[in-house]
Amino acid sequence: MTTGNAANVGIVIVSHSPLVARGIADMVRQMVGDCVPLAWSGGNVRGELGTDAGGILRAIEAAWSDAGVAVFVDLGGAETNSEMAIEMLGAPRSALVAICNAPLVEGAVIAAAEASGGAALAKVVATAEELSP
């Protein structure tokens, strides 16, 4: 997990595969540098394929920004556990976290680019979600 500038919207990558999550996060970091808070969560608590709400919560906290956090997920279980992690975060911070309905790689890259320019959470999410079919 890595972090960046808390003035910009944070990005969290959630995948059932730790290798996929880390790889996408590395790609995003190479494209936008350190100006965007960025973290990832992949695999279950045993390091196997799956997701873990606690790990996702830690990723959200690592990428935390008062501007908000956009979460990108690969499959339904990742979305469900991300929703649980957001609930665990508690109010008022949970209101500043959005799960994006966007392709994982392309969505995360375009969202990070948008966030690096200082865009608000709603704009970051909307830009990423424009990529959805």
Q: Are 14 and 5 in contact (CB under 8 A)?
A: no
**83 Cβ contact list (under 8 Å, min separation 6):** 99
Active site residue 24: no
If we measure between CA atoms, which residue out of 63, 62, 59, 30 comes closest to residue 43?
59
User: Which one from 16, 50, 99, 111 is the annotated catalytic residue?
Assistant: 16
Catalytic residues: 16
